[in-house]
Amino acid sequence: MRTAFRRLALLVPAVAAALGVAVAVWWATLAWVQREERSAISIALARANLGAETLEQSMSRVVDQVEGLFELLVARQRMIEAGDQAGRLALEQQVLNLAHRRDLAMNQVAIAGLDGVVRWTATPPVGPGNAFVGDAEHFRVPRAGVNELYVSETFFSRVTNRWALIFSRPLRDSAGEIIGVAMVSMNPLLVSRRLAAINLGQGGVGLLLRRDGAILADSREREPGRTGRIGSAHPVLGAIRLARGGQLEVSEPLEGGRPQLIGYRVMRQAPLVLVVALDTETELAAVDGLRRAAYVAALVIMLLSAAALLLGVLFAERWRTLEALDAARAENEAALETLAQGQRMEALGRLAGGVAHDINNVLQAVLGGARLIIKRSQDPALHRLAQLISEAAERGGAVTRRLLAFARRDNLEAEPVPVPALLEGVREVLAHSLGASIKVAVSMPPGLPALLADRSQLETVLLNLAINARDAMASFGGELRLSAAAVIMEEDNRQGLAPGHYVRLEVADNGAGMDAETLRRATEPFFTTKQKGQGTGLGLAMAQGFCEQSGGAMEIHSAPGEGTRVTLWLPRAAAISSVTRPLGSMPSRQERRCHILLVDDEPEVLAVLAAGLRDRGHMVVTAVGALEAVGALSADPRVDVLVTDLSMPGMDGVKLIEEARRQRPGLPAVLVTGFVAEAEDELHHASGTGPIQVLRKPVAPEVLAERIMDLLLPARQTA
């Protein structure tokens, strides 16, 4: 009996110690599991947030493409009002090219009149006669004068006989009156696939919502028309009214089911919301495994014989989880690096805009002064020197435009380009600049049609490709071949182009060539194999961006020792049936004298523009800055038109126009700028309060005078 009591006395402390160890291990394990669970939730929320940012960038490109189509439709309306048939045909062809690109997921581009009847479409409607959209909400809302981009719910379109998602805006004439509604129809299923292209992991869902909760697209590629609507009391709808972006941990899922971890982004340029929802249970699956292992370990920890094994399993599970977390962190860091690269490119664009603005101010003074010398001087030698200065200033303006186009801060000015003249001009330049060891050959069939592109940008692309070829043949010389041909692209072509007629340009050399890795990275921005200071790595990236923006494509073939061949496909230009009057060609007898208020913060620019306008017989009052201009306008009731710079300290040109029109409603205005993208939204608002023209620096005085007449003549003829 005593032995039993002694054994029991020895067993009780051991059992107590075992129980104490078990309890301590239990609570420590529980606290650790809770920390890991919060850590996993934080990582999942960060991933949902990053996924929403990525989807926002993807949809921003879609909205930018839609807005680009609307700008083309507005430009088409301006061409119709001006009676410019050739310009209208060129713009319609550009709309057709963009509307049929498969990667844009466009169903249709159309314009409806105020009566709801479709007046023009990028392709003929499916049904007989003109389609009627007057009963559709995406027509009624813009027709009521709502300027914000309107996005419809998904529905079955009678125009295209397909499921559609409609973007629409009011279409205004040059006087600012609504004359119709411009509409861009997109395939919602293809938008869903764009959302699905972002890997959100198992259980992850990407949604495109309207701000009222209507679900427009789902990354799970649901059948169009089956999308629903989020309840008005859901936390997501409350959150988007408070902040543009964020993350939520909600127990009420978006469409029924289990709790979710949500990241969202509200788009600035459209009434759309990008939402990424991750399944909470899926994201915490690894932590749930840890919890189960910890519970088992706490229950059997009293069995000392199994303690070591259970602890080993527990730590092995922890190591596996740490590896998974490290992989998730690495993925997150890679995504952040991609985002940082995009921000660097955006910063480069802003820098390009600022540099272009300052250079264009200098070029404006140079060009204006040279034109005055040409007009006033009778000395042939001086006249020739002034002409050279004028041409150099115009070339400098073209350089700044190319800089803005590379940074996506400028629009390409597409025009029909005769291919023989283009290649012969490039050959002439290259023959004097590549050196005697490199032969330049041009080949093309007779009767080659014109292509549709921005000529100055295309010339720059060809010259950049030629310089790359020269560098590849620098050590032993060779032959540079420029060739062209008309081609017809069928469905499902390798380049991903819309079916139709194209002109193919090729730049080929027999230089050193590129290996597979260099070829793969050749079009990456800032990637170059040249020595420091000999290249920026932007040439091929600019060429590819130019081709895609023009509705075409670019392809590179190269191998070590076999040279390089770069092929460009660009849309064929439509036949021109009328002659467009060149800028600056208005006969002087049509020009009438008027009273002009000229405003600029650069005295040199102000002086040369004022002198040029006075030489043409106009009465000019000058003002240095917007504040002085407001006073001059109040003091002089004879002012017929306001000509102002955009970027000025204190009050910029757009705000000056708005202030002037508060004093003089409907006052015609000309905005002269070196970088119009910095005030696009304000300029759009100002265009609704009166006639306005925008000119890019450097601008010749005669061109400025012509645009002033374009503003004033319609009003005088009406009077």
Closest CA to 151 of 233, 237, 110, 211: 211
Question: Looking at residue 677, what DSSP letter applies?
Answer: G
The length of the chain is 719
Highest mean pLDDT among 18-27, 316-325, 448-457 belongs to 448-457
DSSP string of 530-575, one letter each residue: SPTTS--S-HHHHHHHHHHHTT-EEEEEE-TTS-EEEEEEEEBPPP
pLDDT band at 504 (very low <50, low <70, confident <90, very high): very high
Least confident of 588-592, 650-654, 702-706: 588-592
Closest CA to 599 of 644, 631, 632, 642: 644
pLDDT of residue 588: 42
Which one is predicted more confidently, 52 or 302?
Answer: 52
Least confident of 61-65, 295-299, 429-433, 659-663: 295-299
Q: Which two tokens stand for residue 36?
A: 């890991």
| Strand 478-489 to 150-151 pairing | unpaired
pLDDT 10s digits, 348-399: 556 655 666 667 667 766 766 777 677 666 777 676 777 777 777 666 666 6
Name the amino acid, one letter, at 306: A
Which one is predicted more confidently, 688 or 143?
Answer: 143
- Give the residue-averaged pLDDT of 191-202: 80
Buried b (16+ CB within 10 A) or exposed e, 320-341: ebeeeeeebeeeeeebeeeeee
pLDDT of residue 307: 59
Report yes or no: 695 and 672 within 8 Å, Cβ to Cβ.
yes
pLDDT of residue 167: 93
pLDDT 10s digits, 419-466: 998 998 888 888 777 777 788 889 999 989 999 988 878 888 888 888
Across the chain, mean pLDDT equals 78
For residue 485, pLDDT over 50 is answered with: yes
Which one is predicted more confidently, 224 or 457?
Answer: 457
For residue 567, pLDDT over 80 is answered with: yes
Highest mean pLDDT among 76-90, 311-325, 662-676, 692-706 belongs to 76-90
- Give the residue-averaged pLDDT of 265-271: 88
For residue 703, pLDDT over 50 is answered with: yes
pLDDT of residue 92: 87
pLDDT 10s digits, 629-646: 888 888 888 899 999 988
| CATH architecture designation of domain 588-718 | 3-Layer(aba) Sandwich (3.40)
User: 182: which residues sit within 8 A by CB, 6+ positions away?
Assistant: 69, 70, 73, 74, 110, 111, 142, 168, 169, 170, 171
- Radius of gyration, CA atoms only, the chain: 33
Name the amino acid, one letter, at 265: R
The 10 Å Cβ neighbour count of residue 349 is: 18
- Give the residue-averaged pLDDT of 245-272: 81
Q: Does domain 415-571 bear CATH number 3.30.450.20?
A: no
Least confident of 104-108, 450-454, 496-500: 104-108
User: How remote is the C-alpha of 259 from its chain's centroid?
Assistant: 36
Q: At what angle do helices 304-376 and 2-82 cross, to 10 degrees?
A: 20
pLDDT of residue 525: 65
* pTM value surpassing 0.75: no
Phi, psi dihedral angles at 182 (to 5 degrees): -90, 135
pLDDT band at 566 (very low <50, low <70, confident <90, very high): very high
Enclosing H/E stretch for 109: strand 106-113
For residue 578, pLDDT over 70 is answered with: no
Percent of the chain scoring above 70 in pLDDT = 74
pLDDT band at 3 (very low <50, low <70, confident <90, very high): low
Which one is predicted more confidently, 215 or 130?
Answer: 215
Domain boundaries, the chain: 350-397, 415-571, 588-718
Angle at 346 between CA 342 and CA 349, to 5 degrees: 140
For residue 575, pLDDT over 60 is answered with: no
Report d(CA 687, CA 671) in Å as an integer: 11
